[in-house]
Structure 1
C-alpha cells in the first residue's frame, strides 16, 4: 500500500513538473489568454445588465469597447511613465556627476578600496541609467506586443460570454462542484480586480497631490504609474516608488528623496497593507504569505503578465484543485489562513 501511494505521488509530481514546464514554454500564449479571461470575467456582470436593456450583441460590443479603452489607458500610463523618466534623467547630468563624486568620496572614507568606490559611483553614470531605462522601455514594448492577442481573444470571449449562464446551468447538473468552484473563481477575481482598481485610484490621487506639493516633476505620470502597480501584490508600490524617488533625488537631493520615500511608504502602508486587505482578503481567500509566493511564482512562469495576474491565477488553481474536489474542503484553511467553520468538535471520548 505504501509503495503504491509513493508511486502515485511520484507520478503526480512528475505530471506537475511537465505542466509547469509547458506553461513556462507557452507563456507568450498563456499569459495573454489569462489576461483576456480576467478582464472578461471582470466585465461580465456589466454585460449581463446591459443585455437586459439592449440586444445581446450590442451589450457585448459596448463591454468590448470599454475593455479596449481600459487596456489602452493602462498601456499609455506605462509607456508615458517610462518615456518621462528616460527624458528627465539626461537633464540632470550635472547633478548626477556631483552625486557620483559625493558617493565616491563617501565610499572611500568608509574604508573601501578605489575599485569598489569607482563601481559604486559608476552606478550613477548617466549613460548607464539611460541604457537601463532603454532596456526597461524595450521590455514594456515587448509586453505590449502581446496585447494584440489579448484584444483578439477578448473579441471572441465577449460574444461567447452571452451563453455563459446557459452553459453553466447545463454543466451544473453533471459537475455541480466544478461549476460552483468556477463561480467562486469569477467572484474572487472580480472582487480582487475591482478593489485593486478602487484603492489604486485612491493611492494615485494621494501620490499625485503629494508629489505636486513637493515640487517633484512628472507628478501626474507617477500617480498613473502608482495606479497600475497597485495591481501587483505586495511589491507593486516599490516598483511605482523607484521613478519618483530617483527624480526627487536629482531635483532636490537626498533630503527630498527621503521625504518622498517616507511619505510613499506611509500612504501605501496604511492603504495597501491595512485598509485594502480588510476588504479583499476574506473575499479572495488567500493568505498573505501565499499571495506573495503567488507573485513570485507566476512572475517566474508567465513574466510581467504573471505579476499582474498572480492572484487571479492562484484563484483559478485553487478553484480547480481544491474547491472542485468534494473531499478537498479541509485544504481551504491552509490556503486562506482562516479556520472558518471547519474546526470540528472533538470526539465524545475526548471531551472532559
Structure 2
C-alpha cells in the first residue's frame, strides 16, 4: 500500500509540473482567459442586480459590455497618451534628476563630508533608472492593447452564465451538498473581486485628486497605476508611489514631496488595512507568507501581469478549499489568523 501511495504522489507531482510548464508556455492565452473569468465574476453581480430590477436581459447584457469596453479603452487611452508625453519629456526629467543629485551632494559637502561627485554621476545610469518606470507602463500598455480579446471572453462568459447555473443543477441534482459548496465558492469569489475592484478604484481616484492638488505631473496616469498595483499587496503600493514621489521631488519643494509621501501612506493604509478587511471579512484574508510566494510564483509563470493576478488566483484557490469540508484545512493554512490569535489571547 505504501508503494502504491508513493507512486500516486509522484504521479500527482509530475502532472502538476507538466501542467505548470504548459501554462507558462501558453501564458499569453492563459492571462486573457483568467482576466475574462475575473472580470465576468465582477460584472455577473451587476447583471443579476439589473435583472432583479426587471430590466430585460438583452439590455442588461449590452449595458455591461458597454461599461467594460468603455473602462478598457479609457485605461488604454490614458496610459498611451501619458506614456508618449512622459517619454517626450524624459530628457528634461533626467536633467532635473541630475541637478537634484548634484545639489544634494553639495549640501552634504557643506557639512564637511568628502564625496567624489564625478564617480557618483558616472556610476548612475539615468536611462536605466527611468527605464524601470517606462518598462512597467509599457508592459501595461501592451497588455491593454489585447483587451479586445478579454472583452470578447467576458461577453461569451456572461452570455453563458444563466445556462451554466442550469447545467450545475443538472450535474448536482443528486448531491445538494456539492451544489451548496459550489454556490458558496461562487458567492465568495464575487464578493472578493467586487470589494477588491472597488477599493482599488477608490485608491486610484483619491490619489489622482491628491496629486492634482499638489500639482504633480500626470496625476491621472499615477492614479491608474495605483489602482492597478493595488492588486499587488505591500510591494505594489510602494512601486506605484515611487514615480509620483520622484516627480514631486524634481518639480516641487521638499515639504510638498514629504506631504505627498505622507498622503500616499495614509491612503494605502486606510483603504488596504482598514476599509478592505471590513468589507471582505476576516475569512477572506491571506497569509503574508502565501502572498509573498504567490507573487514570485505567478510572476514567474505568467510574467509581469501574473503579479497582478497572483493574489486573485491564490484567493480563488483558498476560497475553493474553504468551500469544501474535505479541503478546508488547506484554506486554514493559507489564511491570516494573526488577528484571531490576538483576540483569543485577550
Fold-level similarity (TM above 0.5): yes
Within 5 Å, which residues of 2 pair with 1:275-286? 275-286=275-286
Within 5 Å, which residues of 2 pair with 1:72-151? 72-102=73-103, 117-120=120-123, 122-123=124-125, 125=126, 127-129=127-129, 131-151=131-151
Within 5 Å, which residues of 2 pair with 1:262-301? 262-301=262-301
How far apart are residue 98 of structure 1 and its match? 1.5
Give, in whole Å, the separation in 2 of the partners of 1:195 and 1:55.
26
Q: Closer, same or farther in 2 for the Cα pair 1:47/1:285, shift >3 Å?
A: same
Aligned equivalent of 1:68? 69
Residues 41 and 193, structure 2, Cα contact 8 Å, conserved in 1:
no
Residues 51 and 59, structure 1, Cα contact 8 Å, conserved in 2:
yes
- 220-229 or 16-25, which moves further after superposition? 220-229
Give, in whole Å, the separation in 2 of the partners of 1:273 and 1:57.
39
- 234-243 or 84-93, which moves further after superposition? 84-93
Q: How large is the Cα RMSD of the aligned pairs?
A: 3.4
TM-score (ref. length: structure 1): 0.80
| Count of paired positions | 337
Q: Closer, same or farther in 2 for the Cα pair 1:55/1:266, shift >3 Å?
A: closer
TM-score (ref. length: structure 2): 0.81
Within 5 Å, which residues of 2 pair with 1:169-180? 169-174=169-174, 176=176, 179-180=179-180
Higher relative contact order (CA 8 A, sep 6+): 1
- 254-263 or 106-115, which moves further after superposition? 106-115
Gap runs ≥5 in structure 1 = 342-352
Matched, 1:215 2:218: no
SS of residue paired to 1:309: helix
Q: Which runs of 4+ in 1 moved over 6 A?
A: 103-115
SS of residue paired to 2:326: coil
How far apart are residue 80 of structure 1 and its match? 4.4
Give, in whole Å, the separation in 1 of the partners of 2:150 and 2:104.
45
Aligned equivalent of 1:18? 18
Give, in whole Å, the separation in 2 of the partners of 1:30 and 1:159.
20
Residues 245 and 257, structure 2, Cα contact 8 Å, conserved in 1:
yes
Residues 196 and 231, structure 1, Cα contact 8 Å, conserved in 2:
yes
Aligned equivalent of 2:200? 200
Deviations, residues 255-283 of structure 1 (Å, cap 9, x unaligned):
54343223312321232123322322525
Give, in whole Å, the separation in 1 of the partners of 2:245 and 2:265.
12
Aligned equivalent of 1:245? 245
Q: Closer, same or farther in 2 for the Cα pair 1:180/1:310, shift >3 Å?
A: farther
Give, in whole Å, the separation in 2 of the partners of 1:39 and 1:195.
13
